[in-house]
Amino acid sequence: MFYDAVEVASRDELAALQTEGLRRTVATCLASPFYRRRLGALGVGPEDFNSPLDIRKLPFTTKDDLRVGYPDGFLCQPREDFIRLHVSSGTTGAPTAVFYTANDVAAWANLVARCMHAVGLRRGDVFQNMSGYGLFTGGLGIHYGAERLGCLTVPAGAGNSKRQLKLLRDFKVDGVHIIPSYALHFGQFLRQEGVDPADLGWRFALIGAEPHTERTRRRIEEVLGLKAFNSYGLTEMNGPGVAFECAAQAGMHVWEDAYLAEIVDPQTGAPLPDGETGELVMTTLGRDGMPLLRYRTRDLTRFIPGECACGRTHRRLDRITGRTDDMIIIKGCNIFPMQIEQVLMAMPEVANNYLIELYQENDMDQIRVKVEVRDEVFAAAAPTLAGLHKRMVARLRDEVLVTPAVELVRAGSIPAAEGKAVRVEDHRLLEPA
């Protein structure tokens, strides 16, 4: 029923595992130039950690620290023990590199296999990885997990919908990994091709790598005719396999034998009680090559209180609602792109894609939302479109408290990104004031 017995370990057992993992990790960290300096200055060692809460004795590690240590200031093993590296997408500034030993790659594959098992995939199933390979962890990370589980794994890579469809059919694929924005795009492609998704016989999609709302998930399930499961990870914590939905689809279990997760106030860094939304901070507990202590992910979420129906004891993270660095401030109002997506995806007239543009007018920051609408709506009479436009502006204003300019555009006219979707274009610095 469970892939690893530890998935249902008692909370006491998990706390003991975490304490042990924390001690070992602190000991390992002392081998890296960066942490040797930092921990040395603090005067703390492995013996100072007697419960998972003792993690609070440590300072945070930030993205800037990773940049300072770039490329190899965080390595804790001899150079020849490393067999892989990945580089994060760097949507927010300079990229960071993560190095893996053979043990790290194997442990990571095991976590991903555990996630895939939790959604219902099994040995002997056929799995197509429709995300980009290369430096992006969603390629090889998911690939190794699928192989580890014993799936026949099709490394399709991103894009080329025609070929994707052929592979899905020829090899009778049971499950896929696909980025949410591409999943919607692929659904539209199936419709254009006159393919009934039910005929494909596929059952599972793992969707992740970019923020998306519950509405978007439901849409993906509808247009692809399968169940879609939220998959969370980040390069600094290996990549995918950090937190994953189980069949209950009620939040993502974060694997607490492998990671120590905290939610903190993004301003003060103070720990927040269970259930409150803040910034996710993560510590690796089993990584040999490049362990990280209290890494600030910048992702905003919360722990979902209570137990999951599936019986797993590892706590669940709620959907990521945004990043501390993607907050837009317009006319004094804090706006997260996901608030806008939530409004748009709840409107049946809206097609797959949207784009938020920031610009300046009369010395004021302004926000414009370009929204694709379905062909039949776009072709409708002018009053219908005007009515939709009015409703959309009103709903967006109610949600974000400023009135955005809204432009309705034809479905497919906003180019779909190859990898992670780009939701915000900031023209404020480019346009003359």
Would you tell me which residues interact with ligand AMP (CB under 6 A)? 88-89, 137, 208-211, 230-235, 297, 299, 320, 323
DSSP reduced 3-state for 107: helix
220 torsion bin: left (phi>0), alpha (psi -120 to 50), beta (else): alpha
Asked if 248 touches Zn ion (CB under 5 A), the answer is yes
DSSP string spanning 346-377? TSTTEEEEEEEEEEEETTEEEEEEEEEE-HHH
DSSP string spanning 119-176? HT--TT-EEEE-S--TTSHHHHHHHHHHHHHT-EEE---S--HHHHHHHHHHTT--EE
| Interface stretch with Zn ion, choices 62-70, 239-247, 260-268, 355-363 (CB under 5 A) | 239-247
C-beta of residue 327 within 8 angstroms of C-beta of residue 336: yes
Among 246, 293, 338, 343, binds Zn ion (CB under 5 A): 246
**Which residue, 251 or 322, is less far from Zn ion as judged by CB?**
251
For the bound state, the minimum distance from the C-beta of residue 361 to Zn ion, rounded and expressed in Å, comes to: 48
Residue 157 and residue 160: Cα distance in Å, rounded? 9
For the bound state, the minimum distance from the C-beta of residue 313 to ligand AMP, rounded and expressed in Å, comes to: 21
**Which residue, 240 or 392, is less far from ligand AMP as judged by CB?**
240
The listed partner (ligand AMP, Zn ion, none) that binds 88, CB under 5 to 8 Å by sort, is ligand AMP
For the bound state, the minimum distance from the C-beta of residue 398 to ligand AMP, rounded and expressed in Å, comes to: 24
**Which residue, 124 or 311, is less far from Zn ion as judged by CB?**
311
Which phi and psi (to 5°) does residue 316 adopt? -110, 140
For the bound state, the minimum distance from the C-beta of residue 180 to ligand AMP, rounded and expressed in Å, comes to: 8
For the bound state, the minimum distance from the C-beta of residue 3 to ligand AMP, rounded and expressed in Å, comes to: 20
Q: In degrees, to the nearest 5, what angle opens at C-alpha 161 toward C-alphas 156 and 162?
A: 100
Residue 76 and residue 290: Cα distance in Å, rounded? 6
Residue 308 and residue 304: Cα distance in Å, rounded? 9
The listed partner (ligand AMP, Zn ion, none) that binds 230, CB under 5 to 8 Å by sort, is ligand AMP
For the bound state, the minimum distance from the C-beta of residue 49 to ligand AMP, rounded and expressed in Å, comes to: 26
Burial category of 116 from C-beta neighbours within 10 Å (exposed 0-12, middle 13-18, buried 19 and up): buried
Number of C-beta neighbours around residue 86 at 10 A: 22
**Which residue, 197 or 233, is less far from ligand AMP as judged by CB?**
233
For the bound state, the minimum distance from the C-beta of residue 192 to ligand AMP, rounded and expressed in Å, comes to: 27
Q: In degrees, to the nearest 5, what angle opens at C-alpha 389 toward C-alphas 385 and 392?
A: 135
When computed from its CA atoms, the radius of gyration of the chain, rounded to whole angstroms, is 22
For the bound state, the minimum distance from the C-beta of residue 44 to ligand AMP, rounded and expressed in Å, comes to: 27
The listed partner (Zn ion, ligand AMP, none) that binds 248, CB under 5 to 8 Å by sort, is Zn ion
| Interface stretch with Zn ion, choices 21-29, 86-94, 101-109, 302-310 (CB under 5 A) | 302-310
The listed partner (Zn ion, ligand AMP, none) that binds 129, CB under 5 to 8 Å by sort, is none
Residue 372 and residue 391: Cα distance in Å, rounded? 15
Among 55, 116, 130, 310, binds Zn ion (CB under 5 A): 310
**Which residue, 246 or 358, is less far from Zn ion as judged by CB?**
246
The listed partner (Zn ion, ligand AMP, none) that binds 278, CB under 5 to 8 Å by sort, is none
**Which residue, 88 or 366, is less far from ligand AMP as judged by CB?**
88
- Applying CB under 5 A, the residues found at the interface with Zn ion are 246, 248, 308, 310, 312
